[in-house]
Amino acid sequence: MLEALQLKRLKQVVQRVYHTVGFYRRVFDEASVTPDDIKTLDDLKRFPFTSKQDLRDNYPFGMFAVPMSSVVRLHASSGTTGRSTVVGYTKRDIDTWSELMARCFVAAGLTKNDIIHNAYGYGLFTGGLGAHYGAEKLGASVIPMSGGNTKRQIMILQDFGPTAICCTPSYALNLAEQGKAMGVDMRSLKLRVGIFGAEPWSEKMRQEIENVLGIKALNIFGLSEIMGPGVAMECLEGRHGMHIFEDHFLVETINPETGEVLPPGEEGELVFTTITKEAFPLVRYRTRDLSRLITEPCRCGRTLHRMDRVMGRSDDMLIIRGVNVFPSQIEAILLAIKGVEPHYQLIVDRAGTLDTLEIQVEVGEQVFANADEVKVLQNMERQIAKDIKDYLGVSAKVKLVEPKTLQRFEGKASRVQDKRRI
């Protein structure tokens, strides 16, 4: 049954992108495949992948499969400059997304009788509005908190008595810490479940959150390119692996080096094909997220396959306080500043519950030879920190170091030290 539906939808979407998106027409032609080649689900394998770079090359609207007059919403992936990924939705896409987010809430045991505190950021980021529409679809009462303003959030948690909370796992810990500092017994709040995602987290972190907040913590997965939050969601009964909404998304795991499709259970890069999206359909989109598929039946009775928690990335993308950052973006900003050398190190850590980023970068001899050295250095540090904040949306501590003091590499440079133990 599901397979028949998937095949029907897959055929439709492949036809549609071939006729409406110049990029797909070109890459299908280059790979000598046509929409008619889809006879079974397995035939998808013969089609080329879509990469993040392809989306960037078609920035901002080049991948849209409908005219702008049919697009009712735009979002963009977090923390990037001109090269961010812009995604669009038709009215029906928003309905589907709301429906899938509502399914996520149901999987978390929520009903219209619940009050949902939504602390995902509202704005270009998909988290806030995605969860919001899903909560309304469910008929629950949604508190559109958005991120930040932590003290106020604690007050609302006490006064409005929400039964569920949505935010990043690190923000959940942050709230718990802040609450404790304010003398609030966070375990005695009415909260009973949390829906956490948008960044990697571990089983250990789950236990910690459950413990400090006195709730059940569930994992939700998504990415703007494929829809936003609600691509996959854990169920309350299983709490192991996230059910993928396979009636809307086809998933494959591939070997990131060779592109070869792996059997279920093996760890690889997740590749998604959207089979119902209208405005921004993607065929075989390489997420760079590493995980594995779980095909064993789940305790909850859902027959949708699951994906394990994301174990890492096959590229160097960092997620710092929920913002996606590529070291190459930092490099571009550093190198645009006069006197800065192309030698740097990024040190990512976690202070309490907050991610921190330190940038160590070498400056040229002439800067150190300058009479006003200290002042010049301070100004440069300030300038770099400001540019990083302005362009990427993350705060960084910048430390300028003397020429030739940072490590040099013989093979592949390893410029990132991620010390977070999550």
Our finding on whether 287 is near ligand ADP (CB under 6 A) is yes
Binder among 134, 194, 238, 281 for Zn ion (CB under 5 A): 238
Q: State in angstroms the smallest separation of the CB of 306 from ligand ADP.
A: 13
Binder among 324, 329, 345, 360 for ligand ADP (CB under 6 A): 324
Q: Who's near 167: CB < 8 A, 6+ residues apart?
A: 118, 119, 120, 147, 175, 194, 196
Our finding on whether 171 is near ligand ADP (CB under 6 A) is no
Tokens 């046509």, located at residue? 34
Tokens 């045991």, located at residue? 109
Q: Which of residues 341-400 bind ligand ADP (CB under 6 A)?
A: none
Q: State in angstroms the smallest separation of the CB of 238 from Zn ion.
A: 4
Q: Which of 292, 245, 285, 240 is nearest to 266 (CA)?
A: 292
Nearer to ligand ADP, 73 or 399 (CB): 73
Residue 355: exposure state from Cβ atoms within 10 A (0-12, 13-18, ≥19):
buried
- Residue 133 binding: pick among ligand ADP, Zn ion, none (C-beta 5-8 Å cut-off by kind): none
Give the span between the Cα atoms of 89 and 72, in whole angstroms.
Answer: 6
Please give the sequence-ordered ranges of beta strands (E in DSSP) within 299-353, or none if there are none: 306-307, 312-313, 318-320, 323-325, 340-351
Q: State in angstroms the smallest separation of the CB of 137 from Zn ion.
A: 20
Question: What is the 3 state secondary structure string of 288-299?
Answer: EEEECEECCCCC
Our finding on whether 35 is near ligand ADP (CB under 6 A) is no
Q: What's the length of the chain?
A: 422
Nearer to Zn ion, 84 or 219 (CB): 219
Residue 399: exposure state from Cβ atoms within 10 A (0-12, 13-18, ≥19):
middle
- Residue 235 binding: pick among Zn ion, ligand ADP, none (C-beta 5-8 Å cut-off by kind): Zn ion
Nearer to ligand ADP, 9 or 313 (CB): 313
User: Contact, 336 vs 330, CB < 8 A?
Assistant: no
Per-residue interface string for the shown chain with ligand ADP, residues 100-139, x marking contact by CB under 6 A:
-------------------------xxx------------
Our finding on whether 329 is near ligand ADP (CB under 6 A) is no
Our finding on whether 302 is near Zn ion (CB under 5 A) is yes
Give the span between the Cα atoms of 390 and 70, in whole angstroms.
Answer: 32
Residue 2: exposure state from Cβ atoms within 10 A (0-12, 13-18, ≥19):
exposed
Q: State in angstroms the smallest separation of the CB of 220 from ligand ADP.
A: 6
Nearer to ligand ADP, 18 or 201 (CB): 201
Our finding on whether 300 is near Zn ion (CB under 5 A) is yes
Q: State in angstroms the smallest separation of the CB of 416 from ligand ADP.
A: 15
Q: How far apart, in Å, are the Cα atoms of 92 and each of 8, 88, 171, 277, 278? A: 18, 11, 31, 8, 8
Written as one string, the DSSP assignment of 226-241 is: TTEEEEEE--TTT-SS
Q: State in angstroms the smallest separation of the CB of 304 from ligand ADP.
A: 16
Our finding on whether 298 is near Zn ion (CB under 5 A) is yes
Can you give the binding site for ligand ADP, defined by CB under 6 A?
77-78, 125-127, 197-200, 219-224, 228-229, 287, 289, 310, 324
Can you give the binding site for Zn ion, defined by CB under 5 A?
235, 238, 298, 300, 302
